[in-house]
Amino acid sequence: MKKKKIVFQVGGPSFVGGPKFHPVSQQAGCIVHWLGSKFIYDLRYLEDAFEAEALNKCDLLVLMGLEYKGATDVTDPVDELGFRAKHYPYKPISDKSLHAFEEYVASGRP
């Protein structure tokens, strides 16, 4: 029996330490651990999850990462732990990715 593929759309590179330290990425990692080897998993950052290549082979799309429309290209002051977060301006998904997402939804897959 062919394994089903789950694509997780998780947080992006603006988080302190990079994408792998983003809390949503860590939460997706926990879900992958809980579900075990019954599925194929693909963790993708932001718009990458909406690419046709990801969605065409996807049995379940889990949207977890968020984009903040009010985000601007700024760097936070250093916090009490000595970290500085970089925030990138909001960038909507491309027309090509939007079309791939619309086709995925229209296909009836969850």
**Amino acid sitting at position 51:** E
* pTM score: 0.73
Split at pLDDT 50, 70, 90, the class of 32 is very high
Taking the C-alpha atoms of residue 79 and residue 71, their distance in angstroms, rounded to an integer, is: 19
Split at pLDDT 50, 70, 90, the class of 38 is very high
Rounded (5°) CA angle 73-79-80: 175
Q: How many Cβ atoms sit within 10 Å of the Cβ of residue 13? A: 13
Is the pLDDT at 22 greater than 90? The verdict is no
How high is the pLDDT of residue 34? 93
- Locate tokens 């939007």: which residue? 98
How high is the pLDDT of residue 40? 93
Is the pLDDT at 72 greater than 90? The verdict is no
Q: How far apart are the first and last CA of the chain?
A: 20
Domain boundaries, the chain: 4-66+93-106
